[in-house]
A and B are shown apart, each in its own frame.
Chain A
Amino acid sequence: KQEVTQIPAALSVPEGENLVLNCSFTDSAIYNLQWFRQDPGKGLTSLLLIQSSQREQTSGRLNASLDKSSGRSTLYIAASQPGDSATYLCAVTVTGNQFYFGTGTSLTVIP
């Protein structure tokens, strides 16, 4: 069974710092990997999706990379802002009905 791990579970940084969130998975046979943001008491918001054939995707200050062979993905956030404070989740898609989520990294950006 696919296992998805996100370390650290919590991260606190000062405003303006660049940061990297990590996601690792145990089986490289994935269809894609998706990064989400979750604010307290809210649903998940899709940030980036990387297809298995891609190496990275960018959206604004966010850049996500994927290394299937090593079972790793990173989410890079440039020039962090207090509004970036949230829990960030990664999810691996194996097929259209098999999705495996990490437990998330809780990010706090201190003004």
Chain B
Amino acid sequence: DAGITQSPRHKVTETGTPVTLRCHQTENHRYMYWYRQDPGHGLRLIHYSYGVKDTDKGEVSDGYSVSRSKTEDFLLTLESATSSQTSVYFCAISESARNGYEQYFGPGTRLTVT
């Protein structure tokens, strides 16, 4: 299995509070991604990174920000959590176009916003 960890694995927070989720990889892959998974929607890309300090928006980026100060860490921040952000969040990594951007996923973080 690819070396990807996510923390925390579960979190319950209140509406309006900031929340930061962490993704850590030991594979030295260039690309990192944050997804959310919701029933009926499949996985949707929130933000991605193509290198240290290089990030861009995905399909559902509103209300989220990211940072990547080191190759191995990619942080997802909910500036002011809302109930619509209750979801399961997955981090993924991929090496490069050379391997077809094959993606490997972390175990997920279940976030509940009350």
CA distance A98 to B48 in the complex (A): 10
| Contact-residue bracket for chain A | 20 to 34
Kindly supply a per-residue 1/0 record for chain B positions 88-114, scoring 1 wherever the CB is within 8 Å of any chain A CB and 0 otherwise: 001010100100111111111000000
Q: Out of A4, A43, A45, A96, which one reaches B101, CB within 8 Å?
A: A96
A99 to B94, CA, bound (A): 12
Please tell me if the beta carbons of B100 and A99 are within 8 angstroms of each other in the complex.
no
Does the CB pair B102–A46 fall under 8 Å? Answer: yes
- Nearest CB in chain A: distance from B65 CB, A: 17
Whether A97 pairs with B50 at a CB distance below 8 angstroms is yes
B50-A104 in contact (CB<8A): no
Select B100's contact among A32, A45, A89, A103, beta carbons within 8 Å: A32
Are the C-beta atoms of B45 and A99 separated by less than 8 Å? Answer: yes
- Check if A97 sits within 8 Å of B42, measured CB to CB: no
B108 lies within 8 A of A103 (CB)? no
Chain A residues at the B interface, C-beta cutoff of 8 Å: 4, 31-32, 34, 36, 41-46, 49, 51, 89, 91, 93, 96-99, 101-104
- A sample of 15 cross-chain residue pairs with beta-carbon separation below 8 angstroms, ordered by A number, consists of A31-B100, A32-B100, A32-B101, A32-B102, A34-B102, A41-B108, A43-B105, A43-B107, A44-B90, A93-B101, A96-B101, A97-B48, A97-B58, A103-B41, A103-B42
